[in-house]
Amino acid sequence: MPEIPDLNIFSRNLAKRLEGKKLSLITILINRQLKVSEAVLKETLEDQTLTAIKRIGKELKFEFQNGHVLVIHLMLHGTMYWYEGKNENRFTIAEMLFADGTGLAITDWQKAVMLKLDPEPVAVPDALDIQPDYLKKALKNTSRNIKTVLTEGKTVQGIGNAYVDEILYAAKISPFSAADKIPEDRIEVLFKAIGTVLTDAENHISQNFPDTITEKERDFLKVHRPKQKLTLAGEEILKAEIDKRKTYYTAEQELFE
C-alpha cells in the first residue's frame, strides 16, 4: 500500500505534469467503489482546470477550478500509469484524459481503489502534522496495542503497515505494547521516529525514483522485510500477525504492558 513517503512523491510528480491543464474526459471502467454516478463525475469535472494535487493521509486530492475535489485512495494494490492515446493498462478502474493528450490510468487488480467526489474533511491529523502533546494525550486514552493505534486512522492519518513497523523499530518499542503504558519520554522518542522514518524514506525514494507515480521497491526498509530473516543491522526479524496485519519486529524492542 502506498503510504506517506510514496504519496508525497506521487503528488509532486502528478502536479508537475497535470496542474493547470483542463480535464477533457474522465471514464470509469469499474464502478463498484464509486459513491456517485459516472454521469455526475463527468458533469462536475470535465472541462475543468486542475489547479492543485495534494496528499491528505493516504489519499490524493485533485482540486479543480470550479471548487470541486476528486479524492483517490489507492488502497492496497492501486497503481497509476501515464499513457498517451489509448490506455493499454490492465485492470483499469478509471481514466483521466487531459486537453494536451496526457492520460492518467488508475488500476487495481483487486478493484478496491476508491474515487470520492467532494468528501467531508477528516478531523484526524496527518502523521506529519501531529505534535508531541497530542500524541501523548491520544495514547493515554487507549489501551490498544500501539501498532493498531498508529495504523487504524483514528489517531493519525497516513501511516500504514510497513512504515509503522519501521517507526516502532526506530523507537525501540514493541508493536504489542499497550498504548497507555508507554512512558512519556518514550512517546517523545516515538514522535521523533515518525518524522525521521517517513522523511528519510521519502528522500530515499525521491533520489532513486525521482519521477515515479507508482510504488517502488522497499529494500531500504530496516525491519519490514517479508523475504528476509535479518534486519539491515543483522538482528533476527520476528514475525507475527496483529489485527490481520503482518508484523515485523525484533526482540530488542521493549514491551510496555
Question: CA triplet 175, 177, 183: central angle to 5 degrees?
Answer: 120
Residue 17 has pLDDT above 80, yes or no: yes
User: Does 89 share its domain with 150?
Assistant: no
Residue 229 has pLDDT above 80, yes or no: yes
Question: Does any domain span residue 24?
Answer: yes
> Please, are residues 74 and 2 in contact by the beta-carbon 8 Å criterion?
yes
- Residue 192: the pLDDT is 98
- Residue 35: the pLDDT is 86
For residue 46, the domain's CATH number is: 3.20.190.10
Last residue of a domain, one of 117, 145, 171: 117
Q: Work out the average pLDDT over 42-64.
A: 97
User: Does 8 share its domain with 109?
Assistant: yes
pLDDT mean across residues, the chain: 96
- Residue 81: the pLDDT is 97
Residue 33 has pLDDT above 90, yes or no: no
Q: Work out the average pLDDT over 212-240.
A: 94
Question: Does any domain span residue 165?
Answer: yes
Q: What residues pair up with 72 in beta bridges, in sequence order? A: 60, 115
User: Does 113 share its domain with 52?
Assistant: yes
User: Does 15 share its domain with 94?
Assistant: yes
Question: Does any domain span residue 124?
Answer: no
Q: Work out the average pLDDT over 60-69.
A: 98
Residue 26 has pLDDT above 80, yes or no: yes
> Please, are residues 229 and 135 in contact by the beta-carbon 8 Å criterion?
no
Question: Does any domain span residue 256?
Answer: no
- Residue 147: the pLDDT is 98
- Residues sharing a CB contact under 8 Å with residue 142, sequence separation 6 or more, in sequence order: 149, 155, 179, 180
- Residue 216: the pLDDT is 77
Model confidence at 32, pLDDT cuts 50, 70, 90, reads confident
Question: Does any domain span residue 255?
Answer: no
Query: Which among 163, 165, 168, 182 has a CA at the least distance from the CA of 241?
Result: 165
- Residue 1: the pLDDT is 83
Residue 217 has pLDDT above 90, yes or no: no
- Residue 215: the pLDDT is 83
User: Does 86 share its domain with 178?
Assistant: no
Start-to-end CA span in the chain (Å): 30
Residue type, 167: I
- Residue 140: the pLDDT is 96
pTM metric for this prediction: 0.93
Q: Work out the average pLDDT over 44-49.
A: 98
pLDDT digits 0-9 by tens, 188-199:
999 999 999 999
Model confidence at 207, pLDDT cuts 50, 70, 90, reads very high
| Cα-to-chain-centroid distance, residue 103 | 22
- Residue 100: the pLDDT is 95
For residue 238, the domain's CATH number is: 1.10.8.50
Query: Which residue range is the domain that position 54 belongs to?
Result: 4-117
Of the chain, the percentage scoring pLDDT greater than 70 comes to 100
pLDDT digits 0-9 by tens, 136-184:
999 999 999 999 999 999 999 999 999 999 999 999 999 999 999 999 9
